[in-house]
């Protein structure tokens, strides 16, 4: 039997909604429950929403809260959905403080509600990596996994890659 995975939702593009009247993106509730049901996920996943925020608006206080929740969590395998713009910053802070768990951060470039989101694939990959990787902090995007300290977001082409590959 697989170990239960804790999933912390923090917002990011994954969970954005679109206000058609005002043409703006906003947050309501996490889509993680719906995504796992749609994907017919058979893993034991305990979902907890920590915040619904764009990572560009995330403060050190909010990052420290994520670290605190990871430290307090009894489960040793954690997936965090996070905005892609500052995901590496949060991963760095987690890695400085936590050395006894497997933690995988993932996100999406396109909101789930848009119907063509990469988020479904990214979440599935992150859950798989969380089950199979050794203790450490990782970022999983587009079917790839990176060590937290060897990854960067290439904003020109919208992908994550190893540092120095631009």
pLDDT per residue as tens digits for the range 111-154: 776 777 777 889 999 999 999 999 999 999 999 999 999 998 98
What's the mean pLDDT when you consider all of the chain? 88
pLDDT at 157: 85
Query: Is residue 140 within 8 Å of residue 106, measured between CB atoms?
Result: yes
- The whole-number average pLDDT for the span 60-87 is 95
User: How far is the C-alpha of 90 from the C-alpha of 55, rounded, in Å?
Assistant: 9
Higher pLDDT, 133 or 55: 133
**Portion of the chain with pLDDT greater than 70, in percent:** 93
Q: H-helix or E-strand containing 160?
A: strand 159-161
Query: Per-residue pLDDT for 1 more than 60?
Result: no
Query: Is residue 93 within 8 Å of residue 162, measured between CB atoms?
Result: no
pLDDT at 26: 62
**Portion of the chain with pLDDT greater than 90, in percent:** 55
Query: Is residue 82 within 8 Å of residue 105, measured between CB atoms?
Result: yes
User: How far is the C-alpha of 55 from the C-alpha of 2, rounded, in Å?
Assistant: 31
pLDDT at 19: 66
Task: Specify burial of residue 58 (Cβ count, 10 A radius: 0-12, 13-18, 19+).
Answer: buried
pLDDT at 144: 94
The pLDDT-based confidence of 103 (bands split at 50, 70, 90) is very high
Is pTM, for the whole model, over 0.75? yes
């Amino acid at each position: 039997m697989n170990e239960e995975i804790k999933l912390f939702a923090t917002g990011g593009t994954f969970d954005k909604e679109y206000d058609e009247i005002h043409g703006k993106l906003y947050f309501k509730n996490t889509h993680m429950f719906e995504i796992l049901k749609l994907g017919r996920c058979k893993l034991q996943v305990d979902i907890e929403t920590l915040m619904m925020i764009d990572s560009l608006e995330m403060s050190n206080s909010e990052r420290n809260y994520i670290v605190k929740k990871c430290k307090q969590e009894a489960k040793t395998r954690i997936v965090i959905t996070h905005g892609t713009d500052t995901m590496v910053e949060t991963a760095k802070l987690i890695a400085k403080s936590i050395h006894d768990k497997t933690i995988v951060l993932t996100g999406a470039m396109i909101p789930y509600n848009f119907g063509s989101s990469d988020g479904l694939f990214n979440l599935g990959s992150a859950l798989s990596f969380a089950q199979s990787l050794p203790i450490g902090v990782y970022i999983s995007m587009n079917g790839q996994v990176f060590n937290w300290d060897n990854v960067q977001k290439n904003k020109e082409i919208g992908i994550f890659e190893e540092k120095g590959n631009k």
